[in-house]
Amino acid sequence: MDIEFSGEVWHWRGPAPHHFVTVPADDCTAIADAARMVSYGWGMIPAAVRIGGSSWSTSLFAKDGGYIVPLRANVRRNEGIDVGDTVTVRLTIG
């Protein structure tokens, strides 16, 4: 399953700070349906992500009834991405 969307980058300042983009609600239903077949536990869903010229493998996190995409530090650096920026995210689930 392939999904493309735009979203704002935000920073979680918890015990393990990280940057994320929230998947729009409209796409979360399709991801939830696919999750039954691809999830490896705890609601984690494997995904290939592409932003600009960068691509990497990660897992989507379940949050507040939806999903969030973690952004790697090297991707943010290479693509010049900062908190509050709107980025186009291409996901391949599975």
Domain locations along the chain: 2-93
**Type of residue numbered 9:** V
pLDDT at 5 over 80: yes
State pLDDT tens for residues 62-85. 889 899 999 999 999 999 999 999
Provide φ and ψ at 43, rounded to 5°: 80, 5
State pLDDT tens for residues 25-61. 989 888 877 767 666 666 578 899 999 999 999 999 8
Burial grade of 70 (CB within 10 A; 0-12, 13-18, 19 or more): middle
* Host H or E run for residue 31: helix 25-38
87, 49 contact by CB (below 8 A): no
pLDDT at 65: 87
pTM over 0.75: yes
Task: Please tell me the CATH superfamily of domain 2-93, with its number.
Answer: AF2212/PG0164-like (2.40.30.100)
